[in-house]
Amino acid sequence: MRKIILASHGDLSKGMLGAVKMIIGSSELGSNIDAYSLEIGKNPYDYVEKMKEEIKKNPNDEYIFISDIKGGSVHTALTQLCVYKNVKLFSGMNMNMVFELVFYKEKTLTTENGFRLLDEIKNGITFMDSQSFILQGSDEF
Amino acid sequence: MRKIILASHGDLSKGMLGAVKMIIGSSELGSNIDAYSLEIGKNPYDYVEKMKEEIKKNPNDEYIFISDIKGGSVHTALTQLCVYKNVKLFSGMNMNMVFELVFYKEKTLTTENGFRLLDEIKNGITFMDSQSFILQGSDEF
């Protein structure tokens, strides 16, 4: 079984989970996705210790963590979990990333496929202004 | 003056604003950043019409919209605003993107710099598992 955990400072992860549910519906999303919010005054390493126990107990489950920002305290703490073979960690959480992983149907996310997904996710990051809008015209939409 | 508007389905945008405030503090962030949440049953084009009036009234202000996902209803509606020279639109909102724009100090975000920022933002999107963790070792952290 795959578990996807959105992990962030504050309520970003919960907001993301709610927005994704709004678009594809709770039933389509399933119950294997959850959100971890680091609250003010709390230590992300307490969460990591708790997750270590769970991960060790479920070696056949795959845990995919999607963290808010590379080098932030949540992401840095979660890197400790990458010693386990059944853990994968992304940084730079956005909606496109969450969809790519929710709809990823292979049994295991291999290292190769993890890096391949990054390209898909990056393609969803775009910029537009009046100048590029004219250049791109209606083909973009 | 520059106005940054985080725009998303549901409370993703509000969660992002709260998380960013948690990291850098409300005073550092200033008041020129706001969040638009598309609620269930609401039409994003109503928001776009409202913003058209505001943007036309303030031609010397720069409006930077950061939308949740390319091709989603919020992003698609906001592209209509790109006919105005003082509007810039990003898709794929993540924390790294918000920080890049909050700390962008040039008076105007040119087309060239908008596309250049994309590269910085994309560099914040990473993948790690037990295999890449070993390969990267402690240099990454």
Residues A37 and A14: beta-carbon distance below 8 Å? yes
pLDDT at A138: 44
Whether the per-residue pLDDT at B140 is higher than 60: the answer is: no
Shortest CA distance from B62: residue in chain A: A129
Rounded to whole angstroms, the Cα distance separating A55 from B125 reads 24
| pLDDT one-digit tens code per residue, B83-135 | 999 999 999 999 999 999 999 999 999 999 999 999 999 999 999 999 987 66
Rounding to the nearest 10 degrees, give the CA dihedral for residues B122, B127, B131, B137: 60
pLDDT at site A136: 57
ipTM above 0.90, yes or no: yes
Q: What is the mean pLDDT of residues B27-44?
A: 93
CB atoms B19 and A40 under 8 Å:
no
The CA distance from B100 to the nearest CA of chain A, in Å, is 12
Cβ contact (<8 Å) for B92 and A93? no
pLDDT at B136: 57
pLDDT tops 60 at residue B141 = no
A126 to B92: CB separation less than 8 angstroms, yes or no: yes
B9-25 pLDDT per residue, tens? 999 999 999 999 999 99
pLDDT tens string, chain A, 141 residues long: the values are 999 999 999 999 999 999 999 999 988 888 899 999 999 999 999 999 999 999 999 999 999 999 999 999 999 999 999 999 999 999 999 999 999 999 999 999 999 999 999 999 999 999 999 998 766 544 443
Please check whether residue B68 is in contact with residue B15, taking contact to mean a CB–CB distance below 8 angstroms. no
Mean pLDDT of all residues belonging to chain B: 93
**Residue of B18, B70, B126 with shortest CB distance to A90:** B126
pLDDT at B134: 67
Helix extents (H) in chain B: 12-24, 26-29, 44-57, 73-78, 95-102, 111-123, 130-136
Residue of B nearest to A38 (CA): B19
